[in-house]
A and B are shown apart, each in its own frame.
Chain A
Amino acid sequence: EAGVAQSPRYKIIEKRQSVAFWCNPISGHATLYWYQQILGQGPKLLIQFQNNGVVDDSQLPKDRFSAERLKGVDSTLKIQPAKLEDSAVYLCASSAGQGYTGELFFGEGSRLTVL
């Protein structure tokens, strides 16, 4: 079974530029999550999708971050414009059921460096 795929693995940009990350969850998984993990900290939920609807985006900085999950399958997370403090690893995860009733499967992450 293929795991959660993310790209790109690494991205370096200047502040005020834009960047987009892509995630393809495990086939059939209804729920998709984007997390931000700053060095030395635990992952922080940015947004949770159930199929193609948003369940929780309370911690998403909506003035600069946006995410979509078209057709309830893969998803993109965009940052525009980027700030220095956005330097982090962006993790995508998926789960089969609704909410946190079972385990989350994580991708390898996309490491963003903002200069």
Chain B
Amino acid sequence: SQQGEEDPQALSIQEGENATMNCSYKTSINNLQWYRQNSGRGLVHLILIRSNEREKHSGRLRVTLDTSKKSSSLLITASRAADTASYFCAPIYNNNDMRFGAGTRLTVKP
């Protein structure tokens, strides 16, 4: 399968803690995107990291990419209840194909 595989499937933390989600993929990529989906809503783009980049930041988000291990991680620092959502990684392969994984369901307790 070409899709990204997120880990863990579910994560529950307290407000203020950091949340780390991981994504693994199978073959070479052009770039990798992370999306958030609140319950009953559409997906929202969070960040895009290119294959020649190792780390990217956006506000409280930090994304890393390790192409040698074919993996990426999304770190949310100082989490808030509003961060409760499902998070999906989407590797974009050299054939311009993008597949979403099943996602990580994050619950942040106030």
A→B interface (CB under 8 Å):
4, 35, 40-45, 56, 91, 93, 99-109
Contacts and interface: CB of A to CB of B under 8 A. Distances in A.
Given A40-B102, A42-B88, A42-B100, A108 B48 contact: no
- Among A35, A106, A108, the one with the most B-chain Cβ atoms within 10 Å of its Cβ is A106
A102 B48 contact: yes
Nearest to B93: A100
Interface of B: 3, 30-31, 33, 35, 41-45, 48, 88, 90, 92, 96-103
| 4 nearest A-B residue pairs (beta carbon) | A106-B42, A42-B100, A103-B45, A99-B96
Contacts of B101: 42
8 contacts: A42-B101, A56-B97, A91-B42, A91-B43, A100-B90, A101-B31, A103-B48, A109-B41
A106 B33 CA distance: 14
Contacts of A105: 45
Nearest to B9: A40
Given A42-B103, A43-B100, 15 more contacts: A42-B100, A42-B101, A42-B102, A91-B42, A99-B92, A100-B30, A100-B90, A100-B97, A102-B48, A103-B33, A103-B48, A106-B42, A106-B43, A107-B42, A109-B42
A40 to B, nearest CB: 7
A44 B98 CA distance: 10
Contacts of B45: 103-105
Contacts of A35: 100
Contact of A108 (B35, B42, B99): B42
